[in-house]
A and B are shown apart, each in its own frame.
Chain A
Amino acid sequence: MSITLITRDDFRILSVLSDLGGEAIVRDVASKLGVDASALMRRLAELERKGLLSLSKIIYKKYVITDEGRRYGEIGLPEERLLRLVEGRTSFTGLKRRALDIGMSENEFKIALTHLSRNNIISIRKGIVELTEGAHLASFNETRRLLRSLLRMISTEGEMMEEAIPAELRSALREATRRKLLRTRQESLIKVKLQRDPQALLSQGMLKIAEMVTSLTPELLASGKWREVIIKPFELTTEVPVVYPGRKHPYLEFLDQIRDILISMGFVEARGPHVELEFWNFDVLFQAQDHPAREIHDTFFLKYPAEGEVKDEMLVQRVKMTHENGWITGSRGWGYRWDPRRAFRLILRTQTTSVSVRTLYQVKNEVVKVFSLDRVFRPEALDATHSMEFYQCEGIVSGPDLTFRHLLGFLKEFARRLGLERVKFKPAYFPFTEPSVEGFVYHKKLGWIEALPGGMFRPEVLAPLGVTNRVLAWGIGIDRLAMVVLGIDDIRDLFSPRLDLLRSKPVKILPVFRGGGADALSRG
């Protein structure tokens, strides 16, 4: 056995226990030490872990005196009192009168009669009461004496454990409880018993009295003194200070996961300018110059700088001809006079599709999958459901053999990786795609939500860029999806400047990063 360290206080507990004969009830130890029993219990439990003592629970039966029992203990049992009045033959009524005269109640009189006659001490015949011939008076008186002694003894204590009652009186317990002169109560007590003699351990050097410290210090470690001290146990329910970790912004964390999803699907990220020429935002996308989306209600125009340029004049010419008469695209065109000054006006981009067409202009007919995840702007007043600035998640897939069904495949797969398993598709209209589609996703609480707009870029968009591939494209208002996934119902909260809100949002992990990915693999 190794050396055990205990505090001076703990050693005192052991000493007291030793004085009490090495075994005692916790309550008695506590009162002897003058400490609170529940506080002492924690110390005793600790000492038990150290193997110095053992604790056990004992269940005791206790007898508690009732009011009736207390009275009979004092003035005698009713049958004793009545027997003293019976002399020879006595009339019943005379006996009763005399009983009442000495202060017996009607009830006590009745009880006394019952007991005396049941034990065959008296007999009642034709209104005459007389002592029975050959009655066992001696033994009757002896059992009454025992019962009365028992009642008296318990009366003085109020209650007594069974073990504390002298053996000769225990024979009366049964009658006393039956007659409700005593009632029983169960009580548990914790008994503590020394395992070893503390003084002996101390003198053998197996036990050492040590100092208690609240925490380990470099000094204790360096000096090695930690071996001689006891480190104070810590109460785990203690309130501790709140600390806010450095954390990602919840919305950006969501967007990072969207990025990871798209990268896992083989998409390359592209970026483009927020300040854009109408040319890239609308004209290249074959949106006619008088299209309502190009009016001040739907587009932020710049006051300064107001006009940009496109250095590739051939591209400008091709776009112009496509708008005016369809150029070589096989289209009729819009049949109006295209104005380059209008195209060179600067705006805040209204759609990240401008990034997609800038990318296509660069990569021409390479087989690519490209996404952009960035901000766009619309002249909306900021409220719970509208924002003048929001994120769009744009994707294009370009290749020679792509089909419309592949577009639906990508939309469905993207939704699935967001944890939105049910998707349905309806025809839709967007100015720069044909065929176009609107994908609806099913949400448990909100039902079918319009979430995945897409289409195949029109020939009028692709030909001027020099692209002969077929190009699948989609542009998702990711704010709305983020609100659904993050459980936010005010769009302003995505950009909340309140730290309490940012600090309190739990980390939200998309299903695909919670094992949904492996699931995806197993399903092919």
Chain B
Amino acid sequence: MPLVEVRISDLEDLIGKRLPLEALTKYIVMLKGEIEHVEGDILEYEATHDRPDLFSAEGLARAIKGLAEISPGLRRFDVREGDSEVLVDKIDYRPYVACAIVRNVVLTEEAIRQLMQLQEKLHMTYGRKRKKVSIGMYDLDKIDPPVYYKAMPKEEIRFVPLDMERELTADEILRLHPKGIEYGDILRGKKHYPILVDSQGVVLSMPPIINSEDTKVTVKTRNVFIDTTGISLNDVLQLLTIITTSIVERAPEGYIETIKLRYPDGNVITAPQLNERHMKLEVDYVNETLGLNLSMDEVSRYLAMMRFGTSRRFRDTIEVIVPSYRLDVLHPIDLVEEVAMAYDYERLIPELPKTHVTIGSIDPLEFFSRKVRDIMIGLGFQEVLNYMLSSKELLVHRMRRKAFQLVEVENPVSERFSVLRDSLLPGLLYVFSMSKGYGYPQRIFEVGDVAIIDPSKENRVREERHLSAAIASSKVTLVDALVVLNSLARSLGVPITYAPPSGNKRLPSFIEGRCGLILLEGREELGVVGEIHPEVIENFGLTVPIAAFEINLDKLLMTYEKIHAS
């Protein structure tokens, strides 16, 4: 979530009123912001992702003017039709551009800082680091429209980029300019780069990398030209709306002027598109959702505090006017939350439903696991807990198994956690390897989930609940493991038998001839038991004999249920 820094004095200038700090921070919290810190005139808050209109002081002030009921209700913008045009070339990899003009702005250093911050936060979030959308702002009086959005052979591009003193070529910008280094990947490999240029050949910018120094916005700028470019028309128009409606808050005497965008397919689009949307909201819907009993007037008042327009009430329905910059309002339920926010969450009294009576229960496999864990603990085993994410090195190589396909992560952060475990035993041996010298015998077990590839499943994976136990002790043999297994089976009343690995099947992690399969009803394979192979013990850096077993609890539970059904 973006961190936004504002100056309280600037915010108050925009609000037009001094507010106590407590009131200010309370309003920010009511707008889902989280106060990060306040120091002198500086206030930093974390805005939520759904409210790009609150990524700078302009939008925040507008919202607070509603909450403080200084000017509640819809913010109407003065939008005038202009005759400037932008001629759009066909650029496959970044086909969309939208532009707007805001006239008669009054910019201070702080105002410029806020607009830069807004631009940067939008780039990072909605713009997906400029890949999806990028934004530019220019001093209109240094531009001679019409403006052209075109792809230029990169060798022909030369201009002074922002914060540089000399002209650079396009490739120099990608190589030398900080922004070029940061975002150059979006353009690299292309022969033509997109460029915004005016009728006199003055370069405005090379989207999405950098603007030109010549057309830079300064405190002297009176009229601002804005562009957004990107890969989706909708996104380009939406971010243009956010930035335009924010800049115009810096133009008390000013207005927004539209621009005609001439697309190569003959389409003409007028931007910005600041259309308000109308939405019907039933008061009952608000009350039923929130568990409140608000009147229509109250609901209208709370909506106005959140700067929605309300008009044409009909019976229990309010027609709500949603301003264009509220990109997050998709459904009337969003308005319900707005009412709750203006009502103030701290005033909502928590309550348990009186009629919603249900009987709780634990998942049967979870309950069975708990019983099995109890028995293992009764047998003197310490329970351990390992991650499901593991490595081939641990699961396969150290265990002397032949390579096979595990459930594998495409983008692991570390090789240590790059596949899902298919058995628990390697994790137990890992615990032994990390617990050398903590006193023997060590008797440990784990009950947990493992993942095995199974193309018949919708998610291509079969998950099983396993139990594995291991004993490390100077005198341990297979007998010790069998004693535990027999005891467990007897406790559950489920008979088990043992058999050597059949056919050409081998159990490479165990000593040959001192291991075997555990069978249910004489045929179904429940798991394996044996003395761990000395090479495996060495692989874990241990010098103590180990006997262990691993069984499938899903199968054990099924048999348990069959036996105890009657």
A residues near B, CB below 8 A? Answer: 242, 244-249, 251-252, 256, 259, 262-271, 273-277, 290, 292, 296, 300-311, 326, 329-336, 346, 348, 367-369, 375, 377, 379-382, 388-389, 397, 399, 401-406, 408-413, 423-429, 434-437, 456, 458-460, 470, 494-495, 497-500, 502-503
Query: Which residue of chain B has its CB nearest to the CB of A295?
Result: B128
Question: A267 CA to B132 CA in the complex, in Å?
Answer: 43
- The answer on a CB contact under 8 Å between B413 and A381 is yes
Name 5 extra pairs, CB < 8 A, besides A329-B331, A369-B360.
A305-B453, A305-B461, A308-B457, A404-B340, A405-B290
In the complex, the chain B residue whose C-beta lies closest to that of A253 is B383
| B451–A275 CB distance below 8 A | yes
Give the docked Cα–Cα distance between A205 and B453 (Å). 84
| B368-385 interface (Cβ within 8 A of A) | 370, 373, 376-385
A435-B290, A502-B382 as given contacts; A408 in contact with B360, CB under 8 Å: no
Please indicate the chain A residues that have their CB under 8 angstroms from the CB of B461 in the complex: 273, 275, 305, 346
Per a CB cutoff under 8 Å, which of B232, B377, B463 touches A275?
B463
B565 within 8 A of A: no
The reply to whether B366 and A497 contact each other, CB–CB distance below 8 Å, is no
Bound complex: CA of A304 vs CA of B291, how far in Å?
47
Contact indicator A381/B414 (Cβ below 8 Å): yes
Q: How far is the CA of A384 from the CA of B407 in the complex (A)?
A: 27
Contact B290 A427 (CB under 8 A): no
Kindly list chain B residues whose C-beta atoms are within 8 Å of the C-beta of A456.
289, 333
Q: How far is the CA of A380 from the CA of B412 in the complex (A)?
A: 9
Q: How far is the CA of A157 from the CA of B313 in the complex (A)?
A: 119
Minimal Cβ-Cβ distance residue in A for B232: A336
A409/B332 contact (C-beta < 8 A), A249-B385, A274-B463, A380-B413 known: no
Contacting residue for B32 out of A262, A336, A428, CB 8 A: A428
B443 touches A425 (CB 8 A): no
Kindly state whether residue B358 has any CB partner on chain A within 8 Å. yes
Check if A369 sits within 8 Å of B345, measured CB to CB.
Answer: no
Q: Are A379 and B413 in contact (CB under 8 A)?
A: yes
Question: Chain B residues in contact with chain A, CB under 8 A?
Answer: 29-32, 34, 48-51, 125, 128, 132, 232, 234, 288-292, 330-334, 336-337, 340-341, 345-346, 348-353, 355-363, 365-366, 370, 373, 376-389, 405, 407-414, 417, 420, 430-431, 433-435, 438-439, 442-444, 449, 451, 453, 455, 457-461, 463
A326 adjacent to B330 (CB under 8 Å): yes
Give the residue among A249, A334, A428, A458 with the most B Cβ atoms within 10 A.
A249
A406 to chain B, nearest CB (A): 5
Closest to A425 in B: B345
CB distance from A203 to the nearest CB of B (A): 55
Cβ contact within 8 Å between B380 and A245: yes
B333, B366, B439 — most chain A CB neighbours (10 Å): B333
Q: Is the CB of A435 within 8 A of B336?
A: yes
CA distance A374 to B457 in the complex (A): 20
Q: How far is the CA of A259 from the CA of B361 in the complex (A)?
A: 9
Known: A259-B362, A275-B459. A497 touches B431 (CB 8 A): yes
From known contacts A389-B388, A499-B442, infer whether A411 and B350 are also in contact, taking CB-CB under 8 Å: yes
Interchain nearest-CB distance for A524 vs B (Å): 10
Question: A292 contacts which chain B residues (CB < 8 A)?
Answer: 49, 125, 128
Separation of A409 and B291 alpha carbons in the complex (Å): 11
B328 to A, closest residue via Cβ? A429
Could you tell me the distance in whole angstroms from the C-beta of B299 to the nearest C-beta in chain A?
14
Q: How far is the CA of A277 from the CA of B461 in the complex (A)?
A: 11
* Given A246-B379, A267-B358, A367-B358; A428-B435 close (CB under 8 Å): no
CB <8 Å contact, A300 and B382 = no
Contact A274 B331 (CB under 8 A): no
Contacts of B291 in A (CB 8 A): 403-406
B377 touches A434 (CB 8 A): no
Nearest Cβ distance between residue B318 and chain A, in whole angstroms? 15
- Decide: B411 and A379 in contact? CB cutoff 8 A: yes
B444 and A499 contact, CB distance less than 8 A: yes
A401 contacts across to B, CB distance below 8 A = 288, 353, 355-356
A248 near B350 with CB under 8 A, answer no
Docked complex Cα distance between A262 and B358 (Å): 11
Complex Cα distance A389/B331, Å?
Answer: 34
Q: What is the bound-complex CA distance between A259 and B340, given in angstroms? A: 32
How far is it, in angstroms, between the C-alpha of A470 and the C-alpha of B438 when the chains are bound?
53
Q: Which residues of chain B come closer than 8 Å to A368, judged between CB atoms?
A: 358
B366 and A495 contacting across the interface, CB-CB below 8 Å: no
Q: Is A300 within 8 A of B412, CB to CB?
A: yes
Bound Cα distance A410, B413 (Å): 36
Interface centre among A259, A290, A411, A435 (most CB of B within 10 A): A435
Asked if residues B350 and A335 are in contact (CB atoms below 8 Å), the reply is no
Instruction: Tell me whether A399 and B356 are in contact (CB under 8 A).
Output: yes
A459 to B128, CA, bound (A): 27
User: In the complex, what distance in Å separates the CA atom of A290 from the CA atom of B126?
Assistant: 10
Enumerate chain A residues within 8 angstroms of B234, measured Cβ to Cβ.
335-336
Judged by DSSP, the binding face of B is loop
Q: Are B360 and A268 in contact (CB under 8 A)?
A: yes
Residues of B within 8 A of A434 (CB): 331, 333-334, 336-337
Contacts of A332 in B (CB 8 A): 330-331
Check B340–A435 contact: CB distance below 8 A.
yes
Closest approach, in angstroms, between the C-beta of B433 and any C-beta of chain A?
8
12 A–B contacts, CB within 8 A, in A order: A246-B376, A246-B381, A267-B358, A369-B356, A404-B291, A404-B340, A413-B352, A425-B350, A427-B32, A427-B340, A434-B336, A460-B330
| Min CB gap B393→A, angstroms | 16
B351 & A499 in contact (Cβ 8 Å cutoff): no
B288 to chain A: which residues have CB within 8 Å?
401, 403
Please, how many angstroms separate the alpha-carbon atoms of A336 and B412 in the complex? Answer: 30
- Which residues of B have CB within 8 Å of A500? 435, 438
Q: How far is the CA of A306 from the CA of B435 in the complex (A)?
A: 37
Q: What chain A residues lie within 8 Å of B380 (beta carbons)?
A: 245-246
Interface contact A427-B353, CB-CB below 8 Å: no
Pick from B360, B451, B459: contact of A262, CB under 8 Å: B360
Q: A246 with B377: in contact, given A292-B128, A377-B389 (CB under 8 Å)?
A: yes
Complex interface: chain B residues within 8 A of A367 (CB): 356, 358
A436 to B48 Cα, complex, angstroms? 12
Q: Give min CB distance, B396 to chain A, whole Å.
A: 14
A254 to chain B, nearest CB (A): 11
Contacts of B387 in A (CB 8 A): 388-389, 495
Bound CA–CA A495/B433 (angstroms): 15
**How near does chain A come to B14, taking the closest CB pair, in angstroms?**
22
Contact assessment for A326 and B439 in the assembled complex, using a CB-CB cutoff below 8 Å: no
**What is the bound-complex CA distance between A102 and B444, given in angstroms?**
94
Complex: chain A residue closest to B449, CB-CB: A274
B430 and chain A: residue at smallest CB distance: A497
A500 to B49, CA, bound (A): 44
On whether the beta carbons of B49 and A429 are closer than 8 Å, the reply is: yes
Query: Which residues of A have CB within 8 Å of B458?
Result: 277, 308-311
**Leading 3 A-B pairs by shortest Cβ distance:** A403-B291, A263-B360, A405-B291
In the complex, which residues of chain A have a beta carbon less than 8 angstroms from the beta carbon of B381? 246
Write out the residue numbers on chain A whose beta carbons fall within 8 Å of the beta carbon of B337: 427, 434-436
Contact B407 A305 (CB under 8 A): yes
Residues of B within 8 A of A503 (CB): 382, 438
B439 contacts which of A244, A330, A336, A379 (Cβ < 8 Å)? A244
Given A301-B409, A379-B413, A409-B351: A397 in contact with B356 (beta carbons within 8 A): yes
A267, closest chain B residue (CB): B360
Cβ-defined contact, A497 with B435, below 8 A = yes
In the assembled complex, how far is the CB of residue B319 from the closest CB belonging to chain A, in whole angstroms? 15
- A375-B388, A401-B353 given as contacts; is B382 within 8 A of A331 (CB)? no
Distance in angstroms from B12 CB to nearest chain A CB is 23
Docked Cα-Cα span, A397 to B341, in Å, equals: 22
- Whether B412 pairs with A458 at a CB distance below 8 angstroms is no
CB A280 to nearest CB in B, in angstroms, measures 9
